[in-house]
Amino acid sequence: MLNSFLGKRVLITGGAGFIGSHLAEYLLQRGAQVTLVDDLSTGSMDNITHLLSRQGVRWVPGSVSDRRLVAELVSQTDLVFHLAAAVGVALIAKQPIQTIERNVEPTQFLLAELARHHQLGRTIPVFIASTSEVYGKNPKPFWCEEDDLVYGSTSKARWSYGVSKAIDEFLALGHFRASRLPAVVGRFFNVVGPRQTGAYGMVLPRFVQAAVRGEPLLVHDDGQQIRCFSHVADVIDAICQLMLTESAAGRVFNVGADRPVSILELAQMVVSRTGNKSAIQFQTYQAAYDDDFEDIRRRVPDLSRLKSVIRYTPKFDLEDIIDDVVRWSLPVSF
């Protein structure tokens, strides 16, 4: 089935980002031609330089808030993966305005442009990257796609990310309902792997960087926050299958792993697997972010819906994932 990408022209927004660059590699291996558009706000040329000389790769520096550019790129594509967004809790907590601007209007315009082509008889399926943050602080132990979205106050800027991604979901589902535009939404749960930067607050690269340098690992609050980490390769396989599954269109899917681990346990695993003697230190949210920061205690997906439409067989468990990130941070000696 995944041969269906052969010869397809695929547009990846956020193509110089962590997930976008891995997705580009995956699609190129399957014979697709990829166009990567990115404004390098959180992405990096380091993620894609190795791809630029490959046949079938087109690099377009630019912003998806540039409507003319988006219209031009859409007119030359067969499939779209929309990954461009403001990401990273540390960044979002500081920049709620940019978060909303980056996450809502470009998606709105992209979907409208795709709907226009669809109505003219040229159908271009689209994947919209959403996030587990849309559930907010729903207290349920496992989150299903039909669960309520439970946000904190607007005085707490971090909710701007989940709310803005929820609007993207409403737009995607609305276009499917209005015109059957084949849009699929994936809610990612802590996707990790090589190339992910810790600069915007992502926890695993922060821990690994500290451990390989022999510096203390800073665990926020009491470290009892529960998360599930999935390898980027497993996530990409899942979203590519979703894009090729007709019954996935017009639906939202949790995408990730469902093995819960506390952040303190994660820190301990990183220290033990690197073999370094880094200390684990606790840091208040106030010191890490600001007075207004509010966190989510537990974030675990129910993957039943995903497994009901695709063959979801993740290849990496958490130990493999940590080893892979460590290897990438220490290319020679690990």
Q: Which one, 86 or 248, has the nearer CB to ligand NAD?
A: 86
Q: Which residue is nearest to ligand NAD (CB)?
A: 43
* 38 makes contact with ligand NAD (CB under 6 A): yes
- Binding mask 170-199 toward ligand NAD (x if CB under 6 A, else -) reads ------------------x-xx--------
Binding to ligand NAD in span 81-140, by CB under 6 A: 83-85, 87, 102, 106, 129, 131
Indicate if 161 belongs to the active site: yes
Helices (H), the chain: 18-29, 67-74, 89-94, 96-103, 105-119, 159-179, 203-213, 232-243, 263-274, 285-288, 304-309, 318-329
Rounded to the nearest whole angstrom, what is the least distance from the CB of residue 121 to ligand NAD in the complex?
28
Nearer to ligand NAD, 101 or 216 (CB): 101
Return the range that interacts with ligand NAD (CB under 6 A); candidates 57-65, 150-158, 297-305, 324-332: 57-65
Of 19 and 212, the one with the shorter C-beta distance to ligand NAD is 19
Q: Among 114, 90, 88, 84, which Cα is nearest to 102's?
A: 84
- Pick from 7, 29, 40, 320: which binds ligand NAD (CB under 6 A)? 40
CB atoms within 10 A of CB 143: 21
- The three-state secondary structure class of 191 is strand
DSSP per residue over 260-305, as a string?
-EEHHHHHHHHHHHHT----EEEE-HHHHS-TT----SB--B--HH
| CA-based max dimension of the chain | 62
Q: Which of 10, 11, 19, 27 binds ligand NAD (CB under 6 A)?
A: 19
Write down the residue that tokens 């132990």 correspond to: 141
Total of residues contacting ligand NAD (CB under 6 A): 28
Neighbours of 304 (CB within 10 A): 12
The set of long-range contacts for 148-152, using a CB threshold of 8 Å and a minimum separation of 24, is: 152/294
Q: What number of other Cβ atoms are within 10 A of residue 114's Cβ?
A: 26
Is 231 a binding residue for ligand NAD by CB under 6 A? The answer is no
Map residue 99 onto helix, strand or coil. Answer: helix
Structural contact between residues 271 and 199, judged by C-beta atoms closer than 8 angstroms: no
Under rule CB under 6 A, residue 168 binds ligand NAD:
no
Residue 300, both tokens: 């675990």
Question: Which one is catalytic: 26, 135, 161, 289?
Answer: 161
Shortest distance in whole angstroms from residue 243 CB to ligand NAD: 15
- Report if residue 236 touches ligand NAD, rule: CB under 6 A: no
Instruction: State the nearest-atom distance from the C-beta of 189 to ligand NAD, in Å.
Output: 7
Return the residue of 10, 11, 16, 210 that touches ligand NAD, per CB under 6 A: 16
The residues that are catalytic are: 161
| Footprint on this chain of ligand NAD (rule: CB under 6 A) | 13-14, 16-20, 37-43, 63-65, 83-85, 87, 102, 106, 129, 131, 188, 190-191
